[in-house]
Amino acid sequence: MTGVTSSNYQAAPRHIGRTIIAVSSALAAATMFASLAQAQSCQDLWVERNGYYKDAGYCFKTARAISFFGNAGCMYDDQAAVPLPRHIRSRIEEIKWLERSRGCD
């Protein structure tokens, strides 16, 4: 019978363990994000997306957004002019994709 025994076992180099942990962590994060994205309704996605604009001072134009968020303190009429960090703009694009893929209005 062949197999690994205490006499022929060789530990994997330490960096392999760290790589496995990093890959496992990345997979767990991707799975968690996918589950979270699936759990968000169209309304949740709409609120999250527009919340970023509200927090940054965007002046909403639609009755729905004005009713929900209001325009008090708004400073920007053009979404492209709203100063948002790159990671927030990326998240907004991701939300738009999710909304389109689900047929959200």
Q: Is residue 81 part of a domain?
A: yes
Distances from the Cα of 44 to the Cα of 18, 23, 82, 100, 102, angstroms: 36, 30, 21, 14, 12
Cα 15 from chain centre:
29
Cα 5 from chain centre:
45
Q: Is residue 85 part of a domain?
A: yes
Q: Is residue 87 part of a domain?
A: yes
Q: Is residue 4 part of a domain?
A: no
DSSP the chain: -----TTT--PPPHHHHHHHHHHHHHHHHHHHHHHHHHH--HHHHHHHHHHHHHHTTB---SHHHHHHH--TT--BSSGGGS---HHHHHHHHHHHHHHHHHT--
- Nearest-Å Rg of the Cα atoms of the chain is 23
Q: Is residue 34 part of a domain?
A: no
Q: What is the per-residue pLDDT across 47-60, written as a single tens digit (0 to 9) for each?
A: 999 999 999 999 99
Q: Is residue 89 part of a domain?
A: yes
Total domains in the chain come to 1
Q: Is residue 10 part of a domain?
A: no
Q: Which domain holds residue 73?
A: 40-102
Q: What is the per-residue pLDDT across 14-60, written as a single tens digit (0 to 9) for each?
A: 554 554 555 555 666 555 555 555 679 999 999 999 999 999 999 99
pTM over 0.85, yes/no? no
Q: Is residue 32 part of a domain?
A: no
